[in-house]
Amino acid sequence: MHMEHDILNGTILEENKEISLPELCQVCKVDAEWVIALVHEGILEPIGTGPEYWFFSRIALRRALIVNRLQHDLDINLAGAALVVELLEERDTLLARINL
């Protein structure tokens, strides 16, 4: 395959600018209401006065993707999935520390 030796240049999604609501919806394949529910749950904390002005930080995309997968794969509701994401982040931080 001629493709296999080419070097691919990607774009970092979260670099410099933050992610807008439509971008977040597009990558996660979700509708805006789902994202708004996550914001109400306190798991995503956008900057901006209303959904059309919202911008999400670097961590938001990863959180949204994980919540989405947990909801589908393990049948967890939004609040439960949000709790799991927070506990996972806490666990990863602690694991990184003891891994020293």
Partner 1 sequence: MEYKDYYQIMGIQRDATQDAIKRTYRKLARKYHPDVSKEPEAEARFKEIGEAYEVLKDPEKRAAYDRLGTRWKSGQEFQPPPEWNQGFEFHGGEFAQSAASQFSSFFEALFGRNQHNHQRGHQGFNLQGEDSHAKISIDLEDSFHGGVRSLTLQHMEPGPDGRPHVRERTLNVRIPKGIQQGQHIRLAGQGSPGAGHGKAGDLYLEIIFKSHPYFSVEGKDILLELPVAPWEAALGTTIPIPTPAGKVDLKIPINSRPGQKLRLKGRGIPASSPGDLYVVLQIVLPPADNEQARALYREMEQKLAFNPRAGFNI
Taking the alpha carbons at both ends of the chain, their separation in whole angstroms is 42
Amino acid at 5: H
Q: Which stretch binds partner 1 (CB under 8 A): 36-44, 46-54, 68-76?
A: 68-76
- Cβ partners under 8 Å of residue 84, min gap 6: 66, 70, 76
Long-range (24+ apart) CB contacts under 8 A made by 34-38 are 34/68, 35/64, 37/78, 38/63, 38/64, 38/67, 38/78, 38/82
78 scored as a contact of partner 1 (CB under 8 A): no
Residue 50 beta carbon to partner 1: minimum distance, rounded to whole angstroms: 26
DSSP letter assigned to residue 30: -
79 binds partner 1 (CB under 8 A): no
CB of 82 to partner 1, least distance (A): 13
CB nearer to partner 1: give 31 or 73.
73
Window contacting partner 1 (CB under 8 A); options: 38-46, 47-55, 64-72? 64-72
**Which residues of this chain interact with partner 1, rule CB under 8 A?**
1, 3-15, 27, 29, 58-59, 61-62, 65-66, 69-70, 72-74, 84, 88, 93, 96-97, 99-100
